[in-house]
Amino acid sequence: SRGPVVAIVRQPTHGRSRGGGLRFGEMERDCIIAHGTSNFLKERTFGVSDQFRTHVCSRCGLFAKADVTNHKYDCTGCSQGDKKHYKIVQVYLPYAAKQLIQELMAMHIVPRIKVDVTSKKYV
């Protein structure tokens, strides 16, 4: 079951009166870490909240264009007519991280996502 989310950041709304999620703060996070349940922590703070699937070029680390329905993937940073020198990797990251990367790119600061090509599945 999913409740209302804030459209800009895709995270649950604040407050019980608005039907939003309850706060999972620093003390709660530290308690989960101390008990050794890191999978639960990842599920609560990432999987249920604002998980976002995107595609990244394994060569340059930039977001790639993806047409998932037609299985067409292209990296605008690397492709110069030769599509054999890079691979597109599907990654999951928080939507807030994706939004931060795009805002930095708007300021001409280009962060790159390094992917381990040996452990990821290519698309």
DSSP track, the chain:
----B-TTT--BPBSTTTT-BPP--HHHHHHHHHTT-HHHHHIIIIITTTEEEEEEETTT--B-EEETTTTEEE-TTT-SS--SS--EEEEEEEHHHHHHHHHHHHTT--------TTTSPB-
Half-sphere exposure of residue 73, counting CA atoms within 13 Å on the CB side?
18
Mean of the per-residue pLDDT values of the chain: 81
Query: Domains (ranges, CATH) in the chain?
Result: 1-49 (3.90.1800.10), 51-106 (3.90.1800.10)
This prediction has a pTM of 0.71
Residue 84 is predicted with a pLDDT of 60
Which tens digit of pLDDT belongs to each residue from 36-89?
888 887 887 777 777 899 999 988 899 999 888 898 888 888 866 555 667 889
